[in-house]
Amino acid sequence: MRLLPATLTLAILSVLSANAHAITVDGKIDPAEWQGAQHVTDFRITQPLTGAPGSQPTEAWILATPEGLAIGFRNTQPSSIPRNNQKIRRDEQAQVDRNNLMINFDGGRTGYNFMVSSTDGINDAIITNENSFSTDWDGNWQHAATQDADGWSSEMLIPWYIAPMDKGANGKRTFHIYLDRVIGSTGERAAWPAASFERPRFLSDFIAIEVPEYNKALIAITPYVSGVYDNVNLDGTLDAGADILWKPNGQFQLTATINPDFGQVESDDIVVNFSANETFFSDKRPFFTENQGPFEFTTPSDFSQLVYTRRVGGPTDDGTGAGDITAAVKANGSFGATHYGVMLAQEADEVGRNFSAFRLSHDFSKQSIGMMVTEVDRPYFDRKATVLGFDQNWRPNEKLSIQNRLIFSDIDEGDITSPSIGKTEKGDGFTTIIDYEMDHGWRQQWLGMHFSDSLQINDFGYLSRNNMNYAHWQVMKRITGMPQTSKYSSHDWRWRISGSNNDHGLDLQRQFRTSVSNQMRDGDNSYAQINLNTSGYDDRLLRGNGIVRTPSNFNAFAERNWARQGNWAFYANFGANNSGIGNDQNDRHVGWNTQFQPTYFISDAFSIYTTLYFESTPQWMLWEGDNLLGTFDEHATQVDAGLNWNIGSQHELRVKMQSLGLDAKVRQAWRAAPDGTPIPTNDPINDFSLSNLGFQVRYRWEFKPLSYLYVVYGRGGDLFNEFSEDANDALRDSFDLRDSEQFLVKLSYRFEL
């Protein structure tokens, strides 16, 4: 399937005549209200990506009003097609009947997704890098949905102040838009235009529409007050702060925050990480998610980015806790096709850091180019880190997409004991991705990455590792048009050959990967992958104290997601590998891990779940210091459980518990020879075990848009023992942990002027 010719997909459609009137957002399509709207009926199936007309009629209306852009959907769905009436919390990912509006307001590289389910649940997200979605952002927009015997309808009203917009010309403004409808029971997605986020190009394939130019200014002030009582230390604290948003027009927006909290109402998942690579966590703090899209500068290396906002207010440089953010400010806007953004943040006290970022980009008809510079001043370390990046997204034609990134870092660091002695270190990196979409479902991708040994962006950004050169060639085949007798609606096969060296020419690994993603007609989906790895070297395990030679190995993974049927939904996965060290293949037993999660729906609004996870790693490799490492026979058991109760449209109760028990028995101590050969030794290494617990009960009341009352109880802890304990016993011990126990109440109220 191919998209419409570019001359049509970029055609300007008249959406509204001059006599605009208001829309009552009640989920009922009133013909009188929608008179004069652009009427869309040509919805094409994009999941599976066949391009055929949707199996069920879908209609949409687009209307610009003085209050905002109004979108209406009418979704025909007879009783023969089951409806999923599950009530979802905001931004929950669930296989439900839903409508999506995705829109690029200014023709740049950032889009916005607004979703309404048939039960009036919502999801809002930012789209960057053509097809990357982030649900961290929450916007203030109107929505409603209603159902009847023949189907269901939804309405949205997106206010003009929701995001930066280009200044119009001659009383008109141009947006790029995409609409779709998903049938929850089958997973079928029908869209207008027939663009797909499964392709490298998505945001660029939205269709252009022309609407009358409206502007709406906004000043929003959201003060908060919170109180925390610590049941362990028997003391309490009160805190207060505010977020401020000023948007005088579509071309400028200013946000500021004074003493923001660090998101105590959110709980991160339990992570056990003994590796040299840092764990990535997303950010839900409103200031750092509001209009963050212009600051997006990523590379293909896992979650790498030049601005990782969790650094601000993260662990202090002296290790005494979280940084205290005094204030932060962010401004962004545009001059025609040129977009800019500035962000500044300051932490308090002598160990406080100062963060700054400047972003500039320009959009042409077939490409966009940009630059970003960040700087972090860290007085505790007498360190100043500057990073400069340039990026290009080039779309020479409908089949070819090219992304380039170029990064430089400049680190100035003094000597704390002798300020006159310091050092300066410069690093560089680049990435290139070439995606080529051929005919008959075939695609190819070429990817290259270089991060020098001296590249350092983690003062403000995130990079899982530097000192690496990586390349791969990937061939993909999408199979659609399956016979009606097949339980599958599509298969997506991928084959990849890759290789990586460090920046000093050391062969790290060569790999062949094959994977397949399957979509089924009943809404289920599955995925399977196997990697065959050549022998190579691990240059990270010993933390700079040498290298370790690793033999050839494999790893495999498969998962299956069963969509809700009746009161039940299920998820399961299984993984296996034979990684390790040494030349005796008989000693390298296959490790495995498996997870099973059943979810039971007491009602459409109330569900409970349990997740069981088991792991066995016969040769778990851990660094012990210097060039010493140990292999352990590791076993882990994790039990997660919780409930989600969506009490009406404004109230939500969530209970979340995660408990982990891990046991590791020493198998062998090793010393790495200069050439990386692991040599068995008799160095003493201890067995160990650990327990970990995280528990939270959270009630949230959204009493008006983006105004919340939170009542949260949390308890957790971790225990490390230098002796072996069965993983199940360590799991039981976790329930007695009480390193922290807090009760929190937080109230925030949004004033709009």
268 falls within a domain: no
Same domain, 521 and 549: no
Report, as an integer, the average pLDDT of 485-512: 96
CATH of residue 12's domain is 2.60.40.1190
Report, as an integer, the average pLDDT of 506-520: 97
Query: What is the structure's pLDDT at 262?
Result: 60
What residues contact residue 162 under an 8 Å CB cut-off, 6+ apart?
68, 105, 112, 139, 140, 141
Reduce the secondary structure of 585-606 to three states and give it as a string: HHHCCCEEEEEEEEEEEEECCE
- 79-97 burial, b for 16+ CB within 10 Å, e for fewer? eebbbbbbbbbebbebbbb
Query: What is the structure's pLDDT at 695?
Result: 96
Same domain, 372 and 474: no
What residues contact residue 673 under an 8 Å CB cut-off, 6+ apart?
679
Strands 13-14 and 252-258: unpaired
653-670 pLDDT, tens digit per residue, is: 999 999 999 999 999 999
**Total of domains in the chain:** 4
What is d(CA 358, CA 372) in angstroms, rounded to the nearest whole number? 6
CA-closest candidate to residue 151, choices 73, 203, 48: 73
88 falls within a domain: yes
Report, as an integer, the average pLDDT of 223-252: 92
Same domain, 633 and 703: yes
pTM of the shown model: 0.89
267 falls within a domain: no
Query: What is the structure's pLDDT at 422?
Result: 67
Judge whether residue 388 has pLDDT over 50: yes
User: pLDDT band for position 3 (50/70/90)?
Assistant: very low
467-496 pLDDT, tens digit per residue, is: 999 999 999 999 998 888 999 999 999 999
CA-closest candidate to residue 189, choices 249, 115, 267, 109: 115
Per-residue tokens: 380: 């505790």
Same domain, 638 and 669: yes
Query: What is the structure's pLDDT at 21?
Result: 60
CA-closest candidate to residue 706, choices 655, 660, 747, 665: 747
What residues contact residue 188 under an 8 Å CB cut-off, 6+ apart?
45, 47, 48, 54, 55, 182, 489
CA-closest candidate to residue 204, choices 112, 111, 269, 288: 111
H-type alpha helices, 194-330: 286-289
Report, as an integer, the average pLDDT of 619-635: 95
What percent of the chain shows pLDDT beyond 90? 78
What is d(CA 334, CA 106) in angstroms, rounded to the nearest whole number? 9
Same domain, 587 and 656: yes
CA-closest candidate to residue 710, choices 699, 720, 718: 699
Per-residue tokens: 702: 């959204």
One-letter identity of residue 232: V
Judge whether residue 180 has pLDDT over 90: yes
Judge whether residue 420 has pLDDT over 90: no
Query: What is the structure's pLDDT at 583?
Result: 55
What is d(CA 510, CA 532) in angstroms, rounded to the nearest whole number? 8
Domain membership of residue 368 as a residue range: 258-262+278-464
Per-residue tokens: 256: 């500021």
Same domain, 378 and 450: yes
Same domain, 481 and 571: no
Report, as an integer, the average pLDDT of 352-356: 96
CB 531 within 8 A of CB 512: yes
Judge whether residue 156 has pLDDT over 70: yes
Boundary (domain end) residue, out of 517, 534, 551:
534
Cα-Cα-Cα-Cα dihedral sign, residues 724, 728, 732, 734 = positive
Report, as an integer, the average pLDDT of 511-523: 96
Q: Please provide the DSSP assignment of 60-73 as one string.
A: EEEEE-SSEEEEEE
One-letter identity of residue 587: D
Query: What is the structure's pLDDT at 263?
Result: 58
What is d(CA 656, CA 638) in angstroms, rounded to the nearest whole number? 13
What is d(CA 315, CA 246) in angstroms, rounded to the nearest whole number? 30
One-letter identity of residue 146: T
Largest CA-CA distance found in the chain, in angstroms, rounded: 86
Query: What is the structure's pLDDT at 6?
Result: 41
Boundary (domain end) residue, out of 504, 534, 564:
534
Please count the residues of the chain: 753
What is d(CA 211, CA 168) in angstroms, rounded to the nearest whole number? 9
231 falls within a domain: no
Helix (H) or strand (E) holding 493: strand 488-501
CB 442 within 8 A of CB 459: no
Report, as an integer, the average pLDDT of 338-367: 93
Same domain, 210 and 337: no
What is d(CA 579, CA 510) in angstroms, rounded to the nearest whole number? 14
* Mean pLDDT lowest among 246-250, 406-410, 600-604, 675-679: 246-250
292-347 pLDDT, tens digit per residue, is: 888 989 988 888 999 999 999 999 999 888 888 999 999 998 888 899 999 999 99
Please tell me which residue, 198 or 419, carries the higher pLDDT value: 198
User: pLDDT band for position 684 (50/70/90)?
Assistant: very high
What is d(CA 724, CA 635) in angstroms, rounded to the nearest whole number? 11
248-301 pLDDT, tens digit per residue, is: 988 899 999 998 876 567 777 878 888 888 988 888 888 888 878 889 899 888
Query: What is the structure's pLDDT at 270?
Result: 79
Same domain, 327 and 383: yes
Judge whether residue 19 has pLDDT over 80: no
Report, as an integer, the average pLDDT of 350-376: 94
Same domain, 303 and 161: no
Query: What is the structure's pLDDT at 5?
Result: 46
What is d(CA 117, CA 96) in angstroms, rounded to the nearest whole number? 7
Judge whether residue 10 has pLDDT over 60: no
286 secondary structure, DSSP code: H
Boundary (domain end) residue, out of 464, 492, 510:
464
Torsion angles phi and psi, residue 401, rounded to 5: -135, 135
239 falls within a domain: no
User: pLDDT band for position 13 (50/70/90)?
Assistant: very low
Q: How far is CA 199 from CA 50, 177, 318, 485, 728, in A?
A: 13, 17, 45, 27, 44
CB-based burial label for 417 (10 Å; 0-12, 13-18, 19+)? exposed
Same domain, 674 and 626: yes
Query: What is the structure's pLDDT at 285?
Result: 84
Per-residue tokens: 308: 């990782």
One-letter identity of residue 257: T
User: pLDDT band for position 365 (50/70/90)?
Assistant: confident
Strands 507-520 and 488-501: antiparallel
Same domain, 286 and 426: yes
CB 83 within 8 A of CB 523: no
529 falls within a domain: yes
What is d(CA 713, CA 701) in angstroms, rounded to the nearest whole number? 15
**Residue 311: CA count within 13 A, CB half-sphere:** 26
252 falls within a domain: no
One-letter identity of residue 679: I
Query: What is the structure's pLDDT at 165?
Result: 87
272 falls within a domain: no
CA-closest candidate to residue 740, choices 721, 707, 714: 714
Per-residue tokens: 138: 């929450």
Query: What is the structure's pLDDT at 7?
Result: 38
Judge whether residue 676 has pLDDT over 60: yes
Judge whether residue 16 has pLDDT over 50: no
Strands 207-212 and 172-182: antiparallel
What residues contact residue 700 under an 8 Å CB cut-off, 6+ apart?
265, 651, 652, 653, 654, 708, 709, 710
Query: What is the structure's pLDDT at 380?
Result: 94
Report, as an integer, the average pLDDT of 528-551: 96
